[in-house]
Amino acid sequence: MSVADTAEKIKNMEIRGAGKIARSAAGALSEYSAGIAAKNMPLKEYLQNMHKAADILKGTRPTAVSLPNAVNITLRGIDSATITSTADADSLLQRNASEFIGNSKLAIQNIAEIGARYIKDGDTVMTHCNSNAAISCMLKAHEQGRDFEVFATEVRPRNQGYLTIKTLSDAGIKTNFIVDSAVRYFMKKVSLVITGCDAVTVNGAVINKIGTSQIALCAQEARVPFIVVGETYKFAPKTVMGGHIDIEERDASEIMPAEKAALLKNVTIRNPAFDVTPAEYVDYIITEKGAIPPAMAYLIIREHLGWEIGEFDTIRNGKSVS
């Protein structure tokens, strides 16, 4: 798919979920690179075009760190002095993109294996939003014969919860669909909460769909373990150097039709898409490298991401980071 189409679909959420956004961005860059390399474009021009495309993709949704990480990993090395032709740059980029996409799919399989071990016979699992990583753990536990049921939230205003219950129900997992405001009411029946994540900061805070932090609070009150699952490329290197994660605020029309909102003269409709769950509410973060306590987020950033994707250098050189 073209960069423009991919960017549009990410913006309007036809492509959504942090992992899928990341893989689609890598795929679009690889297609674009192959296209312009085939036209024998001079290296300088090729690089300018690739960075422009990268910026377009990075600018689509601000919160999921998987997006800039995927873009940076895909472009890694194409500007280096050892690359002297467009063909070399393109073949490096193709390798980066296919490695990233392959590793990202593999990561989900590993997370599913590890995450499934936390789900026991007789458990009641609560989940929020529509996370491929979280769902994979439940599907794997079900596949392995564990008998458990799920409470899945509706997820206002975009109703991603429907996608979750449809997948779980199709797989034959007993699922209860609840409105977001019923979380505390049902928490006493729940033995484990599993959610995905869009970003993890250096202090182990987790950014995920709006409402996640309220669920974490309820889980802590009820002493229910709260587990977050996410690939390592959802950890945010820029937070080591004081960078912040922007919380996307989406259009008010997702909450109320514009004509109806227009009647409310003194009302501002607020629509944040994500919130921050502090590390102390999170029992484990399960990555493809294994389960870690949130306090170990720095190690993941340093050992599995950090310098590799060049964000630290970008910060050192005084350029802005995304």
- Residues annotated as part of the active site: 129, 198
In the complex, minimum distance from the CB of residue 129 to ligand RUB, in angstroms, rounded to a whole number? 4
In the complex, minimum distance from the CB of residue 223 to ligand RUB, in angstroms, rounded to a whole number? 23
160 binds ligand RUB (CB under 6 A): yes
DSSP state of 272: B
Contact letters (x/-) for ligand RUB, 193-232, by CB under 6 A?
---xxx---------xx-----------------------
Choice between 211 and 310, CB closer to ligand RUB: 211
Residues comprising the chain, all counted: 322
Among 6, 7, 16, 37, binds ligand RUB (CB under 6 A): 16
Asked if 131 and 106 count as a contact pair (C-beta separation under 8 A), the reply is no
What's phi and psi for 278, nearest 5 deg?
-65, 155
212 residue type, one letter: T
Asked if 209 and 230 count as a contact pair (C-beta separation under 8 A), the reply is no
Q: Where are the beta strands (DSSP E) in 137-241?
A: 149-153, 174-178, 192-195, 199-200, 206-209, 226-229
17 binds ligand RUB (CB under 6 A): yes
Contact letters (x/-) for ligand RUB, 257-276, by CB under 6 A?
----------------x---
76 binds ligand RUB (CB under 6 A): no
- What angle (nearest 5°) sits at the alpha carbon of residue 139, between those of residues 135 and 144? 150
In the complex, minimum distance from the CB of residue 185 to ligand RUB, in angstroms, rounded to a whole number? 22
Choice between 51 and 156, CB closer to ligand RUB: 156
Asked if 18 and 230 count as a contact pair (C-beta separation under 8 A), the reply is yes
Residue 285's DSSP bridge partners are 228, 292
Among 132, 213, 277, 287, binds ligand RUB (CB under 6 A): 132
Choice between 89 and 200, CB closer to ligand RUB: 200
Q: The tokens of 210 are what?
A: 């709006």
Task: Count the site residues for ligand RUB by CB under 6 A.
Answer: 17
For the CA atoms of 163, 167, 172, 176, what is the dihedral angle to 10 degrees? -20
In the complex, minimum distance from the CB of residue 210 to ligand RUB, in angstroms, rounded to a whole number? 8
Give residues in contact with ligand RUB (CB under 6 A): 16-20, 64, 129, 131-133, 160, 196-198, 208-209, 273
